[in-house]
Amino acid sequence: MIEWSDEGVVLGLRPHGEAGAVVQLLTRQHGRHAGLVRGGQGRRLGGVLQPGNRVRATWRARLAEHLGSFTCELEEAVAARFLDDPVRLGALRAALAVCEQALPEREPHPACHDGLLALIAALEGEHWGETYVVWELSLLKELGFGLDLSACAGGGNDELAYVSPRTGRAVSLAAGEPYRDKLLALPGFLIGKGSGGAREVAEGLALTGRFLERHIFHPQDRPLPAARDRLAAAVGPQAPR
């Protein structure tokens, strides 16, 4: 029998049989990991297994390649905090969906776990939209697809204003002007300039969404998660508050 315990965040679950549920967790030491929770559809565990909640989980299986089973104890109820704020709740759901579909199964990524916890905490703050964009950039970097926003790809030395959708490198205002219709906008808050706000957050989501789609979801022949698309639509025309 194989057994381990770890802290984790509930990413999602699906019914299994009459009363059980297969739960996906993002654990700190064991990565994205699934397991069967007996009684997971019942009233007693329904509140524990809400997506976004922090749990202490123990996984057991006879062989490492088996699905195995989880027992989960609630450490912090997260989802309930945002029930009265549909946009922030949408951001939480988008982050969970991106993690569930982007992270490789059973591959440890402690930085992704810790980053998700930091994002969840930031969702209660004023600048959560900007933090969400930075979180997606960090996720891309952790998975080996980091963007280079430090200097102009074309050698320009004036203000950075764009990002090349091909290389993921920043482009200066002057160097990018002839190609502006083919480049992605670089939000000022990502390079320590600008005050953020609705427009820059929308630009940031378009930027990270392009590279999530290109490097992670397109190779899997999958679109961006629907929850991620809904977040972009909700944040675009209005400032996150």
pLDDT in tens, 21-70: 999 999 999 999 999 999 999 888 888 999 999 999 999 999 999 999 99
- 158 vs 12 pLDDT, higher one: 12
pLDDT reported for residue 240: 41
What is the average pLDDT across 98-103?
98
Residue 34 sits at the vertex; the CA angle it makes with 229 and 45, to the nearest 5 degrees, is: 90
CA atoms of 91 and 190, how far apart (whole Å): 19
42 vs 71, more confident: 71
Percent above pLDDT 90 for the chain:
83
Separation of alpha carbons 32 and 105, rounded Å: 5
Backbone torsion region of residue 222, taken as left when φ is above 0, otherwise alpha when ψ lies between -120 and 50, otherwise beta: beta
Kindly state the tokens that stand for 136. 């997606």
Residue type, 138: S
Give this prediction's pTM: 0.93
Is the pLDDT reported for residue 106 higher than 50? yes
Give mean pLDDT, residues 105-111: 97
DSSP assignment letter at 176? H
Contacts of 67 (CB under 8 A, 6+ apart): 22, 34, 35, 36, 61
Average pLDDT, the chain: 93
pLDDT 10s digits, 172-226: 998 998 999 999 999 999 998 877 889 999 999 999 999 999 999 999 999 999 9
Domains identified in the chain and CATH numbers: 2-77 (2.40.50.140), 81-149+186-235 (no CATH)
Residue 71 pLDDT exceeds 80: yes
pLDDT (0 to 100) of residue 156: 65
Contacts 24+ apart (CB under 8 A), 234-238: 234/86, 234/87, 234/90, 235/87, 235/91, 235/129, 235/198, 235/201, 235/202, 235/205, 236/198, 236/202, 236/205, 237/198, 238/198
pLDDT at 79: 86
Find all residues with CB under 8 Å of 109, minimum gap 6, and list them.
Answer: 31, 103, 142
